[in-house]
Amino acid sequence: MKQLTKAEEEVMQWLWQLEEANVASIIEQMPEPKPAYNTISTIIRILENKAFVSHRKKGKGYIYFPLVKKEEYSNQSLNKLMNNYFNGSFRNMVSFFVKKNDMDIKDLEQILKELDKEK
């Protein structure tokens, strides 16, 4: 799976949230200052070329929708982060985040309980 730029990822975040939208609807959701219509339209076309987004015709325009699930992209991004910065070790990555975020034992226990519930 290809990696997204920061701008592409921002548009994907909106599409994942909206599930489907035209360019104007995506821009409407974005904070001020709003990007130009042509900018978002260009990013959408790039996302289509990368096979992250597709469209269907509606009237004179298009409705865009994600082809890649957010969870799938998140998982791939985390794996890349883990491999590039933590020698592929999940333990090293978690240890780093625990230390940098001053997590205490209670927080870790709560995370473990939540993970056990999901099993």
Closest by CA to 15, choosing from 62, 70, 68, 66, is 66
* pLDDT at residue 88, rounded to an integer: 92
* pLDDT at residue 106, rounded to an integer: 87
DSSP-derived 3-state class of residue 74: helix
* pLDDT at residue 46, rounded to an integer: 98
Evaluate whether the domain defined by 6-66 bears CATH number 1.10.10.10: yes
* pLDDT at residue 20, rounded to an integer: 97
Going through the chain in order, the beta strands assigned E by DSSP cover 53-58, 61-66
Rounded CA-CA distance 21/19 in Å is: 7
| Ranges of each domain in the chain | 6-66, 70-118
Closest by CA to 29, choosing from 8, 51, 10, 48, is 10
* pLDDT at residue 43, rounded to an integer: 98
> What element of type H or E holds 48?
helix 37-49
Rounded CA-CA distance 66/37 in Å is: 19
Rounded CA-CA distance 9/106 in Å is: 33
DSSP state at residue 104: -
List the chain residues with pLDDT less than 50.
none
DSSP state at residue 47: H
* pLDDT at residue 1, rounded to an integer: 81
Kind of pairing between the strands at 61-66 and 53-58: antiparallel
